[in-house]
Copies of this chain bind each other. A is one copy, B any other.
Amino acid sequence: MTSLAPRARNRMAKERRILDSALKVFANQGYSGASMDAIAALAGVSKPTLYQYFGSKEQLFATLMVEQRDSMLGAFEEPDGLGLVAELWAFAWHYADTVLHPDFLSLARLTIGEAQRFPEIGRAYQAAGPERVLRGMMDYLNAKKAEGLLAFDDAELAAEDLWGLILSAPRNRALHDAACLPKRDDLHRFVTNGLRVFLKAYSTNPGHDLAQLTALAEQGPTTGTP
């Protein structure tokens, strides 16, 4: 189906290699610190090829950021009918694993570090990443509110509370200290506590939901991919 002429396939493969190399170099050295030489060498292509494919350092950077942003933040996944608490539990771990993945953190550091020089990139990142997740979460929370399981006035604030309660602390720490990825146990603490506070504040049946949460938490950290 999607079979391409060998020419085009070759071109795409090279493009991929360049983008991958560029990500590594940019993430490690920052925009200004990265050199086209380093990227070309890591990709195993010559520098003119780089320029033929991407025009300039700035364009390469922009292309890369767009591409990464789209590929790393998968769509918000509709949870699968396990009930409120189990669904929130799954959601929390899924986003923790995504957002605290070293590659994702490197990208976030890059975006933040260059936000002043490349404002559009930062803004686009926000729009495509966090805000999309937020909207997905809002829809989900609104559905649960309609089912009578949650109670709140402002779905956006509720969604942001959820993120802030669970991910703010470990993410901030990891952003500033690249060597300090939260351990699985710490994460378990943050997830459990964050959900507990969330349910206390928003559940219409906190007794039941907190009990369920405790049960889930007792099974220990969910094993993830990071």
Residues of A within 8 A of B (CB): 27-33, 106, 109-117, 119, 122-123, 125-126, 130, 154, 157, 160-161, 163-165, 167-169, 172-173, 175-180, 189-190, 193-194, 196-198, 200-201
Point out the residues of chain B lying under 8 angstroms from A119, CB to CB: 177-179
Copies in the complex: 4
CB distance from A105 to the nearest CB of B (A): 9
Which 3 A-B pairs give the minimum distances between C-beta atoms?
A113-B113, A32-B33, A164-B168
**Contact status B31-A30, CB under 8 Å:** yes
**A130–B197 CA distance with the chains assembled, in angstroms:** 21
Point out the residues of chain B lying under 8 angstroms from A27, CB to CB: 116
Task: State which of B126, B172, B179 has its C-beta within 8 Å of the C-beta of A130.
Answer: B172
| A31-B33, A197-B161 given; A123·B154 CB < 8 A | no
Task: State which of B30, B111, B172, B176 has its C-beta within 8 Å of the C-beta of A176.
Answer: B111
**A161–B191 CA distance with the chains assembled, in angstroms:** 11
CB distance from A2 to the nearest CB of B (A): 28
Point out the residues of chain B lying under 8 angstroms from A172, CB to CB: 130
| A126-B176, A177-B122, A200-B200 given; A29·B117 CB < 8 A | yes
**Contact status A178-B122, CB under 8 Å:** yes
9 pairs from A and B in contact (CB 8 Å cutoff):
A28-B116, A113-B113, A115-B176, A119-B179, A123-B176, A123-B180, A161-B193, A164-B169, A167-B168
